[in-house]
Amino acid sequence: MELHILLLFMIFAAITAMEVKDLFSSVISLGAVGFALCLAFLMLKAPDLAITQLVVELLCLIILIRATIRKDLPLVVEGRWVFNTFTTVIFLCVFLSFSWLALRELPSFGNPLMEVVRKYIEEGVNKTGAVNLVSATVLDFRAYDTLGEVAVLFTAIIGIMAVLRKPGKKNHGDAA
């Protein structure tokens, strides 16, 4: 019940973030979606995910607020509203029908299909010695996935450093 209220709140906040005219208010609504998602993780008894969601949401909000606080981007809203509404309704119908077909096939909540998961839960503490089963899975049973995640983050940071490196600042100093 509480979960459904939270989900409704998240949908309303997401619609607000899209429809509001001011960019700063939009960022704040996006933050509301993230914190509600953190609460939903807590209710589903996943504290690891809740902590990660909370801190990543905080960092993203700080960066987004710093990026948008003094900029007022104009919004183009005029024209073609018949076409836009028509395509939106069509795509909503297609999306809802396909998701109804797909979600019907899912296993019920709390009953995973994969048998290997039960083995992780039963023998995880004995095999790895870690009490936190999430850590045991992420860093021992499925450590290859974590290696891939580390590689992705490393590549992202290298790319950002290459694009936003110092010479831009030096050129500005010369021009001034």
Partner 1 sequence: MTGNYSREDMSLVVKTASRLTAGIILIFGLHIILHGHLAPGGGFAGGVIIALAFVNLLIAFGKETRLSRISENVASKLETVGAVMFLAVALLGFFGGTFFMNVMTKGEAFNLFSAGTIPLSNISIGLKVGVGLFAIFLALVILERSRK
Residue 91 Cβ vs partner 1, minimum distance, rounded to whole Å: 33
Residue 54 Cβ vs partner 1, minimum distance, rounded to whole Å: 8
Provide the sign of the torsion angle of the four alpha carbons 56, 116, 125, 110, taken in this order: positive
H-assigned helices in the chain: 2-19, 23-43, 47-68, 81-103, 116-128, 133-136, 143-163, 167-175
Please check whether residue 169 is in contact with residue 175, taking contact to mean a CB–CB distance below 8 angstroms: no
Residue 90 Cβ vs partner 1, minimum distance, rounded to whole Å: 38
Chain residues in the site for partner 1 (CB under 8 A): 47-48, 50-52, 55-56, 58-59, 62-63, 66-67, 125, 128-132, 134-136, 138-140, 143-144, 146-147, 150, 153-154, 157, 160-161, 164-166, 168-169, 172, 176
Identify which of residues 20 and 64 has a Cβ nearer to partner 1 in the complex: 64
Identify which of residues 92 and 165 has a Cβ nearer to partner 1 in the complex: 165
Identify which of residues 16 and 128 has a Cβ nearer to partner 1 in the complex: 128
Residue 88 Cβ vs partner 1, minimum distance, rounded to whole Å: 33
Residues 6+ apart with CB under 8 A from 130: 124, 136, 139, 140
Identify which of residues 101 and 175 has a Cβ nearer to partner 1 in the complex: 175
Distances in whole angstroms, Cα of residue 106 to Cα of each of 4, 43, 52, 113: 19, 21, 26, 9
